[in-house]
Structure 1
């Protein structure tokens, strides 16, 4: 059991999990049904030598999980929208996927959510938004917030990541720094850097569309229970997904041309 200290600094940025605080060089987070599975994954990553994830310290006296704090910056900045950062992110995600080799892909305990129909190949992060990547200067160094991690395919996790980083969205919903980016070129750049094979690239648009459709349904159902999901839904998350799907339909041929 890890001692509970008094000085707590609230950490902002997450959409769903409330009550996340920094205490010294640790992060304290409320537990969820997926916490045991996530801790097992993080310990596996540590044993595999993957440096881009927090370490499990234990639990504190309030029953919260305790993870190491990873210093750096998160969110959309002039640094994070560069092509160079996108290439580095592709390498970081590839390293994470490769490090999950040998970790059991079956079993219960994951949060669940939308997914590919193909058999799982890796454990995916499945929520790799700019708020969940820690940058050190101009370089993405680590992934955080593994609450939605689950067995999936490499391509599904890539599609989920590029939804936020390319990004695939209606421009009205984008951060000002993301407007005007060449989405097709950035999809190609990421896939080249990750090493996505040609046969998988042909599925990119199809799987992106499937992911948007299914994530809308999952989020709508979870929002009915209130909490962070309900707050996101009330703030227009469903409408943003619908607009992203419409944008994808309009630009399908352009994206396909960059990938095939």
Structure 2
């Protein structure tokens, strides 16, 4: 078995990430024990959309399954059916984490404060973290996992997978958002609440990068310097400008009127 280290590229924070045979090795963080425990729970729960965690190596690095396949952001835009599949995968993830009880001393590294804390979320469900392999679709990069809400996590996913960004076509984007949400199986009250949480989470990402620029905190300062903040601000403004359209797109189909309701 090849035990040589092969650097892995891609993503915004990939320095020091290597492949060794069928595993990925990456720097451990203060959150690694909690994240590892979460991944073990997902494995035990039968959720196949996350890599398995194998502890740390002799150099103190995380050991995770290497997941073969292209990242979603390198492929053609998803079809409505594929968006529904992503929604279903996220729902399965949230259902699995809803039974997870973290240790009392668990440490997490959540970058943006969520609207509320009801489950443990991934917090970066995006095309650049979804491996679309022949054996299945798997979300990677769990270092930022932590407490949050279903809608907070799903709202962030909507930004990347629809995608919702400046210059989009609201009519087309509304249909694509609906496909994602229907795949998730979101209930009517949550459908009404989701659009403004999408905007809030996306704007929170811009504010995080801006704060990194002001304080020098990495990797946010570097990402700001590379121009990422402009994307997030434009996306937030686009989402905010069409909140009513997103709500209309997500509204459940009206009940058919009974015979005679219109005087006929």
Question: Do both proteins adopt the same fold according to a TM-score greater than 0.5, normalized to the shorter chain?
Answer: yes
Q: Which residue of 2 aligns with 1:113?
A: 111
Secondary structure of 2:54's counterpart equals strand
TM-score, normalised with respect to structure 1: 0.87
How far off its partner does 1:6 sit?
5.4
Per-residue CA deviations over 1:177-221 (Å, capped at 9, x if unaligned) read xx8992100111111111111101111221122212322222333
How far off its partner does 1:242 sit?
1.1
How far off its partner does 1:124 sit?
1.1
Q: Which residue of 2 aligns with 1:230?
A: 221
Secondary structure of 2:219's counterpart equals helix
Pair member with larger Rg:
2
| Contact 2:56 2:63 (8 Å CA) reproduced | yes
How far off its partner does 1:253 sit?
2.2
Q: Is 1:167 aligned to residue 157 of structure 2? A: no
- Structure 1, unpaired ranges of 5+: 173-178
Matches within 5 A, 1:14-33: 14-33=11-30
Q: Which stretch of structure 1 is more off in the superposition, 221-230 or 231-240?
A: 221-230
Q: Which residue of 2 aligns with 1:217?
A: 207
For residues 192 and 22 of structure 2, the distance between their equivalents in structure 1, rounded to whole angstroms, comes to 44
For residues 230 and 242 of structure 2, the distance between their equivalents in structure 1, rounded to whole angstroms, comes to 18
Secondary structure of 1:50's counterpart equals coil
Per-residue CA deviations over 1:223-258 (Å, capped at 9, x if unaligned) read 533543222111112221111121113222221210
Matches within 5 A, 1:134-149: 134-137=131-134, 141-149=137-145
For residues 186 and 140 of structure 1, the distance between their equivalents in structure 2, rounded to whole angstroms, comes to 22
Question: 1:241 and 1:140, CA in 2 relative to 1: closer, same or farther beyond 3 A?
Answer: farther
Aligned-residue CA RMSD (Å)? 2.3
Q: Which residue of 1 aligns with 2:256?
A: none
Q: Number of aligned residue pairs: give it.
A: 248
TM-score, normalised with respect to structure 2: 0.85
- The structure, 1 or 2, with the larger RCO (C-alpha pairs under 8 Å, 6+ apart) is 1
